[in-house]
């Protein structure tokens, strides 16, 4: 894996100066976060979190590895998962428990991050109750952007757990093995964060953050494209191949969180 990400970074080095990346903007006020309220924090037993985004009133898009205990490699108990829509400074605009989830049918959780794992690192969570708040508008998804195209990311992270941040301009540096490498600033907790394209009237989700990496001091984000995968996830959900929250649970999964790579 280390050789793979190193080769990927070498391939993108000439592209590094193509886009003028913007810094992170905190969305800690109502006005700043108004357009991004469908992005929320995905809390797991109060011990770890990822980022998720509403793509319908009942469906949250995130990374598949967020649904696994990193110590045991087992799927987590969904009864311990809660979506906090537009979580900001101790309050959310909506709180919803997870009912069931589906992961990409070709995804396999492994402790050693691989290219195969990254390109399928995507999941859907169905909520018990829809979020029908007129201020929280689910995002549409779009096609995978081209190399050099500008994108943006909204994410929570370990240093911004109480309010999300927006990086409005970063760029797709290269695409290899069906994954995207981007110049976006992500950190622990950013797993599952939406990567947006701005080519339409409203931002569209084109990828979810699967990992972060670093090469020669340059931080990069690795993303799983939504195009193609989302149709498979909907098919899995329709076929009843999701896994459901347990009726009751005393489990305490304390080892859940974002898995990242750093060569």
In a domain, 185, yes or no: yes
- Position 256 in a domain: no
Contact 156, 41 (CB under 8 A): yes
Q: Which two tokens stand for residue 49?
A: 């979190």
At residue 233 the predicted structure's pLDDT band, cuts being 50, 70 and 90, is very high
Percent of the chain residues topping a pLDDT of 90? 72
* Among 101-105, 213-217, 228-232, the least confident range: 213-217
Residue 113's pLDDT band (boundaries 50, 70, 90)?
A: confident
The residue whose two tokens read 């509403």 is: 54
Alpha carbons 115 and 128: distance in angstroms, whole number: 33
Q: In this structure, are residues 96 and 132 in contact, taking their beta carbons and an 8 Å threshold?
A: no
Residue 252, classified by CB atoms within 10 Å of its CB into exposed (0-12), middle (13-18) or buried (19+), is: exposed
pLDDT tens for each residue of 39-89:
999 999 877 999 999 999 999 999 999 999 988 889 999 999 999 999 999
In tens, the pLDDT along 140-166 reads 999 999 999 999 999 999 889 999 999
Strand-pair category, 123-127 with 150-155: unpaired
C-alpha angle 67-70-72 in degrees, rounded to nearest 5: 100
Percent composition of the chain: helix, strand, coil (DSSP 3-state, to 5): 15, 35, 50
Spatial separation of the C-alpha atoms in residues 115 and 235, rounded to whole Å: 24
**Global pTM?**
0.88
Q: How does DSSP classify residue 248?
A: S
**Within a domain: 253:** no
Given a cut of 60, is residue 13 above it in pLDDT?
no
Write down the mean pLDDT value for the chain. 86
All residues at 6 or more sequence positions from 201 whose CB lies less than 8 Å from its CB, including other chains: none
Q: Report whether pLDDT(217) > 80.
A: no
Number of residues written out for the chain: 263
Read off the CATH number of the domain in which 171 is found. Answer: 2.40.10.120
In this prediction, residue 107 has a pLDDT band, given cuts at 50, 70 and 90, of very high
Residue 61 domain flag:
yes
Token reading at 45: 């037993």
Mean pLDDT over 209-223 rounds to 86
pLDDT score recorded for residue 177: 65
Please state whether 16 falls in left (phi above 0), alpha (psi between -120 and 50) or beta.
alpha
User: In the predicted model, is pLDDT for residue 252 greater than 60?
Assistant: no
Q: Is the pLDDT of residue 213 over 50?
A: yes
Tally of structural domains, the chain: 1
Residue 213 lies inside a defined structural domain of this protein: yes
pLDDT category of residue 19 using cuts at 50, 70 and 90: low
Residue 87 domain flag: yes
Domain assignment present for residue 20? The answer is yes
Element (H, E) at 182: strand 179-182
Residue 17: per-residue pLDDT = 42
Position 34 in a domain: yes
What local confidence, expressed as pLDDT, does residue 246 receive?
Answer: 83
Cβ 76 vs Cβ 69: under 8 Å:
yes
* Cα distance between residue 13 and residue 205, in whole Å: 25
- Is the per-residue pLDDT at 219 higher than 90? no
Q: What's the maximum distance between 2 C-alpha atoms anywhere in the chain?
A: 53
More confident call, 5 vs 174: 174
The answer to whether 93 touches 135, Cβ cutoff 8 Å, is yes
Q: Give pLDDT, residue 111.
A: 66
**Which residue do the tokens 């009942």 mark?**
58
Domain that holds residue 12: 2-244
Q: How many CB atoms lie within 10 A of CB 10?
A: 12
């Amino acid at each position: 894996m280390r050789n793979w990400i190193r080769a990927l970074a070498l391939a993108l080095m000439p592209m590094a100066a193509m886009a003028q990346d913007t810094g992170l903007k905190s969305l800690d006020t109502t006005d700043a976060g108004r357009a991004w309220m469908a992005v929320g924090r995905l809390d797991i037993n109060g011990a770890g979190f990822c980022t998720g985004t509403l793509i319908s009133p009942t469906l949250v898009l995130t990374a598949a590895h967020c649904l696994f205990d990193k110590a045991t490699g087992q799927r987590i108990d969904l009864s311990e998962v809660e979506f906090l829509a537009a979580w900001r400074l101790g309050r959310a605009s909506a709180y919803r428990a997870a009912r069931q989830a589906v992961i990409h049918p070709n995804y396999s959780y492994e402790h050693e991050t691989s290219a195969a794992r990254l390109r399928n690192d995507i999941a859907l969570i169905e909520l018990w109750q829809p979020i029908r708040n007129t201020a929280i508008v689910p995002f549409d998804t779009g096609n995978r952007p081209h190399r050099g195209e500008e994108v943006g990311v909204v994410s929570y992270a370990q240093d911004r757990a109480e309010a999300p941040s927006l990086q409005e301009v970063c760029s797709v540096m290269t695409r290899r093995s069906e994954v995207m490498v981007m110049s976006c600033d992500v950190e622990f907790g950013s797993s599952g964060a939406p990567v947006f394209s701005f080519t339409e009237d409203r931002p569209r989700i084109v990828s979810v953050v699967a990992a972060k990496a670093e090469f020669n001091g340059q931080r990069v984000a690795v993303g799983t494209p939504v195009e193609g995968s989302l149709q498979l996830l909907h098919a899995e959900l329709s076929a009843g191949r999701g896994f459901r929250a347990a009726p009751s649970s005393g489990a305490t999964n304390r080892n859940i969180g974002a898995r990242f790579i750093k060569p």
